[in-house]
Structure 1
Amino acid sequence: MEFPENLKYTEEHEWVRLEGDNIAYVGITDFAQSELGELVYIEVETVGETLEQGDEFGTVEAVKTTSELYMPVSGTVLEFNSKLDDSEGDDPTLVNSSPYGDGWIVKIELSHPDELEDLMDAEAYQASIA
């Protein structure tokens, strides 16, 4: 199981990767996707919305369950990964095969970058699921 050092993690198993001036990518962790199993659908209807840290921004649906996705930091949802979108690429299993790469879920603009300091680093996240 992977725990990239360049990410910040939440207790709800989302990760965030800062990519320059207040722009970040958000997805679910390798642990989360392995617990859910094969994903069959991902829904994000919050593109263009500004959400607070902890707000629900979408859902992931696996064969046996559906789970909510929560914002790791406050910000505006700029983009839903078109490779996962059922109207475009429609390959939600990218989250299973590449949770930290092609399987990112949303691109956001951070409202409060200081909230990143409240999130776990890779070592703390790994310890939290052990």
Structure 2
Amino acid sequence: MTQTLEQKRAQHAWGKAREGVNEYGSDYVNDAKGLPALIMNSGLMQVMAFLDGKGGRHTTLAGHLRDWLHLQCGTPNTSEAFMEHLFNADAQTFRHINAEAMAWLRWLRQLAPAVKGGE
């Protein structure tokens, strides 16, 4: 049986939510819930730079998103290389990466509280 892209997103987000909640608890849940709006308001590159600059759970969350984008879009998995990739991406590629980030985050936003509730 072949998984749909939505199933793959959900499965990956579930695993990352479990990691984040196990390590940071409600703080990770709150960050995951707010991240889509933050990206919509400020932009993907700005938010990724902000998360990596904050450290701790924020860097973990950024890493979780980068991991998905690496698997799905072929972007680099490290912070610096990821940013360089986005700097040099053409408009269509950038929009695709941004759309994929938001699609994955919709799952993380819903699944992180479910993981937290199931502790």
More helix by percentage: 2
TM-score, normalised via structure 2 length: 0.32
More strand by percentage: 1
TM-score, normalised via structure 1 length: 0.31
